[in-house]
Amino acid sequence: MEKVDSTSKKNEKVTIFASFLRKLSKFELPLICYYATGQPFSNTSENKIQFGWSSFMNVVNQLTSRTPDNLRGFYGTKADFGSLIEYALIKRTPQPKSLDSYFGQNESKELTIEDVNEHLAKIASFKGKGSQKAKKNQLIHLLKYASPLEAKYIARIITSDTRTGFREGLLLDAIAEAFKHHNKGVRYAYMVLSDIGDVAQVARDQSVDLLSLKPRIFHPLRSMLATKAESIDDALENYKSLVCEPKIDGFRAQLHIGKNRCKLYSRNLEDVTHAFPEIIDSISSDLRSRLTPGILDGEVVALLDGKPVFFQDLSTRILRKRDIAISVESTPCYYYVFDILLHQGKSLLDIQLEKRKEILYFSIPDLKNIIKMEHKILENKVDIQNQLQEAIQNGSEGLMLKDPISKYQAGKRGKGWLKLKVTLPTLDLVIVGAEWGHGRRTGWLSNYHLAARDRNDYCVIGKTFKGLKDEEFVQLTEHLQELELSKEPYGISVQPKIVVEVEFDNIQESSKYTSGMALRFARITRIRNDKDLEDVDSIETVRQLFQDQLQRQKRTDKA
C-alpha cells in the first residue's frame, strides 16, 4: 500500500496493485481485497470488530507508554489511527530493535496475511461482558508482531478507515488488469456479487464469463439509489414518461425468498431478518411457488395506530433494544415491494423496469404484511403534480420518478431513478461544537454541532459535515479554533458565534439531544456571516415545524 500511495498516478497505482494481486494465493486474494479497501471482513460478513475510540487509544497507550494527552494531541492533527500508532511506535524512546524485544520475547515471527485474518476474526468473536478487554488484549497480541508500518495498516483496517489508499473503483481496475478482464465485466461482477473478494476470486478463475453472473440468493446486492430531481420539469427533461411511486419514509430492505428459508437484508447488507418476524411470517407457500428462488427490493414501514413511525424506531428493533414480540403487536411493520431482481432463479437486472414491474405484480399475491407498491406511468407535469400532492397527503415524503426502460443498477446512484421531495424551510442555526474530520477532511474541523436558540441557551438539534466547499472548511476550522471553549473527546466545544443556514429532510424524535428532536440529513447551504445570534431560529420554531410534519403524516390515517 505504501508503494501505491507513493504515486499519484491512477494507472501506476492500478498496475502496482495488479501485479501484487497476481502473486497472492487463493486464500489471500479476497482478504487483501477487503484490507485494501479498509474492511476487516467481507461487507456481507456477520463478523464485526466493534472497537471503540477510547479502547484503541488505550491499546496504543499500553503499547508505547505515551500519555493519553500526547496521543490525543497527535490524533487531533491527523485524525487517523493508522498514523497515530505508526508515530507512537516509531517515536518510542529508546527505540527497541523490534516489538518483540519491547515485550521481552525472543521469538521473532513474521506476520502473515493468515495471522492478521485469524487475529481479526478472534477480535470480532468476543461478545458481551468483558469483550472490550478481550478485544484489546487480542489486538495487543497482534500488534506485537507488527512493524510500525504494518501496525499503521492494521489500525486502519480495524477502524475501517478508507485511507488505506485504494478506492473500490481502482481496486476493480486492478482486478481487471491482474486477471486480464475488461473493466466492464469486473464492474458487472461487483454489481451482481457485491463482495469485492468474491469478484477477485471469480475474475481469477478464467473459466467464468463475468457478464453472465447472476444474483445469488442469500447474498444481498447493494441497492439501486436515486438522484435528486429539483422539480417535475427537471425530471421530465430527459424522459417522455415516468413510473411514479410514493416515496415512503421507512427502511430499505431486500427480501430473499428461498424454498425453505427467507432473509431480509438492510441497505448496508446486514441480515435484519430477526427484527421483522411479521414480514417473514407473511410469506405464503403461494408466494414461494411463484417466486422461488427470488429477490425483492422494497421499503419496510412501521405503522403505529395507523401512523408511519420514523426510521429510527425501526432501528431500535434491529439493534434488539426493544422486545420484538411486543413491538410486532404494538407497531406492526409492512414491506412495500417496488422491484424484483431475481425471479425463479432468473436474473432480472438487465430487464427494463416496466417489464420487472409486470413480473412483480404477477408474482406477488395479496399478503398480510407484504404489499405491492402502487405505481402509475405518467407523462405530463399536471398529472405528476397531482400525484405528488396525493403522496404528501398520504404521509409520503414525495415521489420516486423512475425511467420505465431503466435496468437495475445495483449500488449506483444514476439518473434512472429520481427522487422528488418536498423540503421543509431552512433553519438558521449556530455552531456550538465541532469534530475533527476523517479521510479527505483530515485536519479540518468538519462535523458541526448545530443548535437552535433556547431562551439564553442553545440546544443542539443535529450534526453535519455536508454542504460546504473545501475553502469553507479551512475558513471554519481557523475560526472555530479561535472560539474554542474546551477540548472534548469528539473535538472541541466552541462559543456560539457562527451562524449557518441549514437544509434538512425532516425532523425526528430523538433521545440523543435534550430538545428531544433531531434534524435528519442536515446540510449547510450557506455560512451566514451576515447574521448574528439574534437571528438564530428558536427551538419553538423547530418544534412548530416538527408538529407541522406530524400533522402531514397524520393525514395518512384519514386518507
Give catalytic residue positions: 247
Closest CB to ligand AMP among 166 and 408?
408
Instruction: State the nearest-atom distance from the C-beta of 535 to ligand AMP, in Å.
Output: 29
Count the neighbouring beta carbons within 10 Å of the beta carbon of residue 451. 23
Q: Which stretch binds ligand AMP (CB under 6 A): 116-124, 206-214, 247-255, 315-323?
A: 247-255
Q: Which is nearer to ligand AMP, 1 or 400 (CB)?
A: 400
Which 8-state DSSP code applies to residue 519?
A: E
408 binds ligand AMP (CB under 6 A): no
Shorter beta-carbon distance to ligand AMP: residue 229 or 468: 229
- 136 lies in the binding site for ligand AMP (CB under 6 A): no
Q: Which stretch binds ligand AMP (CB under 6 A): 147-155, 240-248, 426-434, 439-447?
A: 240-248
Residues 409-438 binding ligand AMP (CB under 6 A) are 419
Q: Is the Cβ of residue 454 or residue 505 nearer to ligand AMP in the bound state?
A: 505
Is position 202 an interface residue for ligand AMP (rule: CB under 6 A)? no
Task: Check if the beta carbon of residue 144 is closer than 8 Å to that of residue 115.
Answer: no
How many positions of this chain bind ligand AMP (CB under 6 A)? 11
CB of 324 to ligand AMP, least distance (A): 21
Return left, alpha or beta for 358; rule: phi > 0 is left, psi -120 to 50 is alpha, else beta: alpha
Peptide bond into 246 cis (omega under 30): no
Smallest separation, CB 2 to ligand AMP (Å): 37
Q: Using an 8 Å Cβ cutoff, are 523 and 502 in contact?
A: yes
Interaction of residue 545 with ligand AMP, rule CB under 6 A: no
Stretch binding ligand AMP (CB under 6 A), from 115-123, 246-254, 327-335, 363-371: 246-254
3-state helix, strand, coil in the chain (%, to 5): 40, 25, 35
Comparing CB distances to ligand AMP, the nearer of 18 and 399 is 399
Shortest spacing between CB 376 and ligand AMP, in angstroms:
12
Sign of CA dihedral 546, 227, 44, 352: positive
The beta strand positions in 313-385, using DSSP E, are 333-343, 346-347, 370-372, 376-378
Question: In a 3-state reduction of DSSP, which class is residue 390?
Answer: helix
Judged by CB under 6 A, does residue 265 bind ligand AMP?
Answer: no
Q: Which is nearer to ligand AMP, 121 or 371 (CB)?
A: 371
Does 177 bind ligand AMP (CB under 6 A)? Our answer is no
Would you give the DSSP letter of residue 271? B
Our CB check for ligand AMP shows the closer of 105 and 231 to be 231
Q: Which of residues 226, 459, 524, 539 is near ligand AMP by CB under 6 A?
A: 226
> What string of DSSP letters covers 504-544?
-SEEEE-SSSTTSEEEES-EEEEE-TT--GGGSPBHHHHHH
Minimum CB distance to ligand AMP, residue 424 (Å): 14
Q: Give CA–CA dist 322/274, Å, rounded.
A: 12
Q: Does 299 bind ligand AMP (CB under 6 A)?
A: yes
Part of the chain binding ligand AMP (CB under 6 A), chosen from 21-29, 115-123, 243-251, 424-432: 243-251
Q: How far apart are CA 335 and CA 373, in angstroms?
A: 9
CB of 82 to ligand AMP, least distance (A): 31
Residue 309 identity: V
C-alpha cell at 4: 501505491
Q: Please say whether the beta carbons of 172 and 184 come within 8 A.
A: no
**Is there binding between residue 372 and ligand AMP (CB under 6 A)?**
no
Residue of 214, 252, 290, 322 that binds ligand AMP (CB under 6 A):
252
Kindly state whether residue 301 participates in binding ligand AMP, applying the rule CB under 6 A.
no
Residues with Cβ within 8 Å of residue 202, at least 6 apart in sequence:
189, 193, 208, 210, 213
Q: Does 99 bind ligand AMP (CB under 6 A)?
A: no
Q: How far is CA 22 from CA 11, 119, 196, 210, 301, in A?
A: 17, 25, 15, 18, 46
Candidates 109, 99, 98, 112; CA nearest to 35 is 112
Least separation in angstroms between CB 347 and ligand AMP? 20
Q: Which is nearer to ligand AMP, 224 or 500 (CB)?
A: 224
Quick check: 373 binds ligand AMP (CB under 6 A)? yes
Residue 442 to residue 388: CA distance in whole angstroms: 41
Q: CA nearest 206: which of 37, 22, 349?
A: 22
Beta-bridge partners for 254 = 265, 297
Binding of ligand AMP by 519 (CB under 6 A): no
How far is 496 from 524, CA to CA, in rounded Å? 16
Determine the residue with CB nearest ligand AMP.
252
Query: Interface mask (CB under 6 A) for ligand AMP, residues 326-345, using x and -?
Result: ------------x-------
Question: Residue 494, interface with ligand AMP (CB under 6 A)?
Answer: no
CB of 313 to ligand AMP, least distance (A): 15
Q: Is 400 in the site for ligand AMP (CB under 6 A)?
A: yes
**Binding of ligand AMP at residue 313 (CB under 6 A)?**
no
Nearer to ligand AMP, 174 or 353 (CB): 353
CB of 242 to ligand AMP, least distance (A): 12
And the C-alpha cell for 152? 499503521
Which three-class secondary structure state does DSSP give residue 143?
A: helix
Nearer to ligand AMP, 117 or 223 (CB): 223
In whole angstroms, what is the distance from residue 375 CA to residue 187 CA? 31
Per-residue cell: 109: 515471527
Query: Distance between alpha carbon 177 and the CA centroid of its chain, in Å?
Result: 28
In whole angstroms, what is the distance from residue 429 CA to residue 462 CA?
10
Residue numbers at the binding site for ligand AMP (CB under 6 A): 223, 226, 245, 247-248, 252, 299, 338, 373, 400, 419
